[in-house]
Structure 1
Amino acid sequence: MLFTDRLTHTTDFTDNEKRIASFIEQNLEAVSTMSIQTLASKTYTSHSALVRFAKKLNYDGFKSMRQDINNDVQKNILQLNDVDANFPFSPQDSALEIAKNISDLNINAIKRALAQLDEESLNQAAQKIIDSQRLVFFAIGDTQIRARGFQSKLIKINKFAIIAEEYSDESWTASNLNADDLAIFLSYTGNSDNYLKQIQFLKKQKVPTLLITGNPESKMIQVADQVITIVQNEFDVFKVSTFASQITFEYILDTLFAIIYSKSYKENLIKMQSNYKKLTQNKIL
C-alpha cells in the first residue's frame, strides 16, 4: 500500500494531523529526506505529534513512515498523469481526448500496482498455484472475466482451473476442496459477506487461500493465508466503470502467469509446440 493511499484511507485525523497530512501531501519529495525536527517546524507541531501521526497510519514511527514516503518518490508515483480513475473523461472531451485519458488511466493503474508489489509475495503466490492439485477462483461480475482469462492461459501449460460460481454452486465446490488445493478470491472491495463466510469455512477445512483485493481494511485479510493488496484511487460504487480495479486484476494475473511459465520455461515451450503440432496435424487448428 502506497503512503499516499494510507493518507486517503485514514479519515479520523485531528486538526493538527490534517495540517501534517496536507503539508506532506503537497511536499512529498521534500519530506522524503526531511528530519523530524524540520517537519515539526514546518507543520507547527511537535516530535510526539509526528510520531502519533505515523502510528495512526500503521507505521512503527517517523523513520518507517519517511522511508515509505521515499519509496513513493523513488517509484515516480508523483509523475503519474492526473486522471480520475472514477470519471476519466467528461461530456466535453473529444474522442481522441477520451482515448488519451483511458490510455493514461491504464498506465497509471499498472504503475501504481507495480509500486505496491514485492518479489517474495509474487513468487509465493506463483508457487502456491504451481503446487495446487486443484485451483478454484471465487470471482463474480467483471472480475470473473479476468479470472476466465487467467484460466484460459493456464490451460495452455496443462494447469486446469475452476470458476467456483460457474453453475451457482460455489458452496459445494468449496466443500470438496482440501489441503492440496488452492482457492483464489478476487474481490476489489473485499466486502462480500458470502466470500467472508466461504473463506472462513475453507480456513477451518485447512484449504490454502489467496486473496487479491484493493481494500486494506477487508475482514477477509485476517482469514486468508496470503494476501496481495493493491490500492487504486477508485470508489466502491460512484464511478463510470471499474476501470482501474480490473486493469489491476488483469495485470496481476498476467504477471503471475508469466512467473509460473518462467519457472518451467523450456518444458512449457516444448509442450506448447508439441500440442500445436498435434492440433494442426489433425486439422483442429
Structure 2
Amino acid sequence: MKTLENLIDIKNTTFNEEEIIKYIIANPEKVINMSIYSLAKKTHTSTSSIIRLCKKCQYKGFKDFKIELIQSIDKEINNITNIDVNMPFKQNDSDYIIAKKISQLSIETVKATYDLLSPQKLNSTVDQLINAANVFAIGFGDNYLRLSDFKTKLLLINFFIKMTELEDDQIRLTNLSNNSDAAIIVSYSGKTAKVINCAKRFYTNQTPIIAITSDSHSPLALLASQIFLIPNKENIDLSFSNFSSHVSIEYILNTIYSCIFKRNFTANCKYTRKG
C-alpha cells in the first residue's frame, strides 16, 4: 500500500511521530474514519505532531493524507486476486484486507470447483442417491463435520444418511452395505488408511462409491464409481488451515443437496416449513 510505504520510509522521525506511524499501519481502515483529534487521542500525541508527519510525507495536511489512504486501500483491495491457499494473508495485513482475501479465496475456490464439475456426473449421482436403498457417508476429522452438516440439511427434507462419529464404528458401518445402497466418502488426499479400509469394504460389498477428493489417481478414486474432484492446491506440510478444501467440499455437498431438494421441490418445501 503506497501510502503506508511512504510512512515507513520517512527518516528522522520523532518519538510521537513513530507512535502515530505504528497506529496508522496497524489500523488503516480505522484511521480513514477518524478525525485528527481522535487519532491524536488514540496515539497519545497531538494534532500538531500528526500535521507535521503528514507534511513530511508530502501531504498538505491530515485530510489530504486520509484521501490518499482511502484511495490506496481501495486500490489494494480491488487488486487482490490469486490468493495463496496455503497462506492466504500476511502478518502485516489489516483485518479488512484479511476479510477481503478470505472472501476472494472462497470465490476463487468455488469457481475452480465448479469448473471441475461434470453435468452428467452430477445428474447421475443425484439419481443414484435418490434411488439407493440406503446412503452411507464416511469422513474423518473435519470431513466428518462437513458430512454432518450435509446430513442435517437432508433430514429437513426427510432424506436420511447413515453415518457415525466414532472412527471404529465408521468401519463397522460399511459391513451393513450392499449393491442396492450408495456411499459418499470425503477425503482430500484419497490416501488415508482409514478411508481406504472403508472404501475397500464398500467395494467388496459392491456398493457404489461417490468420492469427493483432490486426486483422481488416489486409491480412493480408483475404487469409486463417481469422482467429484476438488482443486488440488493445498500443501499439507505448508498449509496452516484447510480453508480452500473446506469451501470446495461444502460447495459440492451443498450442490448435491440442492439438486436432491429440487427433484421433489414442492414436497420438500413443505417438509422444511414443518421443521
TM class, shorter-chain normalised?
0.5 to 0.7
Give the direction of change, closer, same or farther, for the CA distance of 1:118–1:80 in structure 2 (3 Å limit). Answer: farther
- 1:24 aligned partner: none
Equivalent pair of 1:112/1:232 in contact (CA under 8 Å): no
Equivalent pair of 1:138/1:165 in contact (CA under 8 Å): no
1:97 aligns with 2:97: yes
- Secondary structure class of the residue paired with 1:169: helix
- 1:106 aligned partner: 106
- Secondary structure class of the residue paired with 2:168: coil
Partner letter of residue 254 of structure 2?
Answer: D
Aligned equivalents of 1:211 and 1:80: distance in 2?
A: 32
Give unpaired runs (5+ residues) of structure 1: 1-78, 277-285
Aligned equivalents of 1:106 and 1:128: distance in 2?
A: 29
CA displacement 1:184-232 (0-9 Å, x = unmatched): 1100111112222221221111112111101123122111111111224
Give unpaired runs (5+ residues) of structure 2: 1-78
- 1:197 aligned partner: 197
- 1:136 aligned partner: 136
Aligned equivalents of 1:250 and 1:120: distance in 2?
A: 20
Equivalent pair of 1:136/1:164 in contact (CA under 8 Å): no
- Secondary structure class of the residue paired with 1:257: helix
Partner letter of residue 256 of structure 1?
Answer: I
Q: Give 1:183 deviation, angstroms.
A: 1.3
1:213 aligns with 2:213: yes
Which protein shows a greater Rg? 2
Give the direction of change, closer, same or farther, for the CA distance of 1:167–1:88 in structure 2 (3 Å limit). Answer: closer
Aligned equivalents of 2:214 and 2:127: distance in 1?
A: 22
- 1:187 aligned partner: 187
Aligned equivalents of 1:246 and 1:201: distance in 2?
A: 26
TM-score (norm 2): 0.68
- 1:222 aligned partner: 222
5 Å-filtered alignment, 1:56-205, equals 81-166=81-166, 168-205=168-205
CA displacement 1:60-113 (0-9 Å, x = unmatched): xxxxxxxxxxxxxxxxxxx99211001001111111111111011000100101
Q: Give 1:147 deviation, angstroms.
A: 0.5
CA displacement 1:94-144 (0-9 Å, x = unmatched): 111111110110001001011111111111111122112222111111111
Give the direction of change, closer, same or farther, for the CA distance of 1:159–1:172 in structure 2 (3 Å limit). Answer: same
Aligned equivalents of 1:264 and 1:224: distance in 2?
A: 27
Task: Report how many aligned residue pairs link the two structures.
Answer: 197
Give the direction of change, closer, same or farther, for the CA distance of 1:211–1:167 in structure 2 (3 Å limit). Answer: closer
Give me the identity figure in percent.
27
TM-score (norm 1): 0.65
